[in-house]
Amino acid sequence: MALRQRRMGVLFAVFFLLLVAAAGRTLYFAAVRSATLRKAAQAQQLSTETLPAERGTITDRNGVDLAVSEPADDISADPFLLKDPLAVAEKLAPLLEKPRDEVLAELTQHSGFVYLAHALNPARAHRILALKIPGIDASVVMRRVYPRGSLAAQVLGLVGTEGKGLAGLEYSQDATLRGHPGQRRVVSDALGHPISISTVHPEVPGSSLKLTIDSNIQQHTEDVLSAVGHVFSPRDATAIVMDPRSGAIYAMASWPRLNDSITASVTNETLQNRAVSFDYEPGSTFKVVAISGALQEGLVTPETSFSIPDQIQVADRTIHDDAPHPEESLTTSQILAQSSNVGAIKIGGLEGADRFNQWVHRFGFGSPTRVDLPGEEQGQALALDKYSGSSMGNLPIGQGELVTPIQIATAYSAIANGGILRPPHIVKAVGGRSVAEPAGRRVVSSATAAEVRQMLKGVLAPGGTASQVSVPGYQLAGKTGTASKIDPATGQYSETAYVASFVGFAPAADPQLLCAVIVDEPKTGSIYGGAVAAPAFGEIMSFALPYLGISPH
């Protein structure tokens, strides 16, 4: 009996001690850890989620979608919660469209969070979540989609996985397009199921951009450049189509073109917009600078006659025309139409180095055009104090100066636009509000511009360097260019690497459309601007002129 009482006493003491310990622990949690535990409970039941903002749409001038955003899902995993990573990898790999071993490597990382896919199609994401694999989760994001595939890819650029623009307009207009994300508060039950969702502050979508680009002209221009690439196998090619009266760009195309929709795997090189970044010696297209200046200063008229041998000595340099010929008499108009180097040098000599240099800068060379696109180079106009004795033997014919395609197109737009040079632009409206067109400045008088336009018609007339190019019903005007490139190995002009170009406009009497085509290092067929670039100009204009409803005359 006494033994039983002692045992009951011991048990009572043990239970009493346990009760005291439990009470003490309860008191500890209630008094000391209450704030910490309350926060932990709230964290388990209450969460704040980011609401991604919809990125602004980019359209062409007619409202055709070029870049849009749509909901998508980021798929993630917590490897610590996966009981059989190999089995999970086998299930997920086909849905992620990734090799099983790659998925397995991701699922076995020593981390509590791993991205398996970014911006996945919602339908595929739903199939993954339907597997109900613990540790596999999804979060809603917005992904960028380009409905016209790679059309105008170098102009549009691309958006990274974090939703930031990385190239092109997506980069330069990122602050406008991106918008501001929102937040919402989610209260969940013990099983993690949401029971209450409230918006803390709503997301603000980005503003839209309407471009001056016309998707049909852009498509046709890219198709023409693809044909140039197929026939002449150049290093690359660029074309710009614009309204010379306003500077609005209808098309800006590059070749090689991208094969697929723009993705994060596209390199910066393939997305480089060479229309604004390619520095090259312009060759004979630059002759319009010296001739326009001489006309404006009254040093020559279109009918002024010059005695033209097939070569000319300037200081220590001897410059030849393209083909040997006996000494002949050519007017200013014929010098431009036949692209005589000797004739252009003689006209430049009438101006002298100082005034010629002023004309180079008045036409905008050596300075950026201020086009609303990123990555614009400013070319290189030789400083007057760097001129040598032979500089006036090469500068008037487009050697020794670097220009960009957008600069040469803008300079010719001034001739087409009655002597007014206007900065080119590609953004037509932001958030539905029209963007004011940039102001222009006068370069030459309207009379001089009209004379040069008339003279440039001769380039496409019989005897001109692009006489084979025509568009039925339209009078064309323009200039060919064939420039030898500097060989980086020797520092001398190459005998195999050239830039072939053509820039022109129509109708010649009242220009409403301008096109520049620049082909870098054509390797097969021909290297001359009249044979390589001029026909591409004709193909582009033959589509764009009637498409825009420009009357034949």
**Residue 69 annotated in active site:** no
Q: Which residue has the tokens 């001769």?
A: 458
Q: Which residue has the tokens 């140039």?
A: 228
H-state helical runs in 46-114: 85-96, 100-107
pLDDT of residue 72: 86
pLDDT of residue 261: 47
Instruction: Count the alpha carbons within 13 Å of 2 in the hemisphere toward its beta carbon.
Output: 0
pLDDT of residue 45: 65
Q: Which residue has the tokens 């229309």?
A: 275
The Cα–Cα gap between 521 and 536 comes to 15
pLDDT of residue 511: 98
The Cα–Cα gap between 338 and 327 comes to 14
The Cα–Cα gap between 166 and 481 comes to 34
The conformation of residue 297, written as its DSSP 8-state character, comes to T
* Distance, first Cα to last Cα, the chain: 129
Catalytic one of 215, 284, 340, 413:
284
The Cα–Cα gap between 544 and 250 comes to 9
The Cα–Cα gap between 379 and 401 comes to 8
pLDDT of residue 43: 47
pLDDT of residue 80: 87
Which tokens is 258 given?
Answer: 């991208």
pLDDT of residue 202: 77
The Cα–Cα gap between 402 and 363 comes to 13
Blockwise average pLDDT, block size 10, the chain, 553 residues: 62 63 57 53 60 89 95 88 89 91 90 86 89 87 90 94 89 92 66 58 87 98 97 97 98 84 59 94 97 98 96 92 92 96 97 97 97 96 95 96 98 98 97 93 98 97 95 96 92 93 97 98 96 98 98 86
* Stated pTM of the model: 0.86
pLDDT of residue 71: 86
CATH numbers and ranges of domains, the chain: 45-73+143-211 (3.90.1310.10), 215-547 (3.40.710.10)
What is the DSSP pairing of strand 46-51 with strand 182-188? antiparallel
What residues contact 27, with CB distance under 8 A and at least 6 apart? none
Q: Give the containing element (helix H, strand E) for 41.
A: helix 34-45
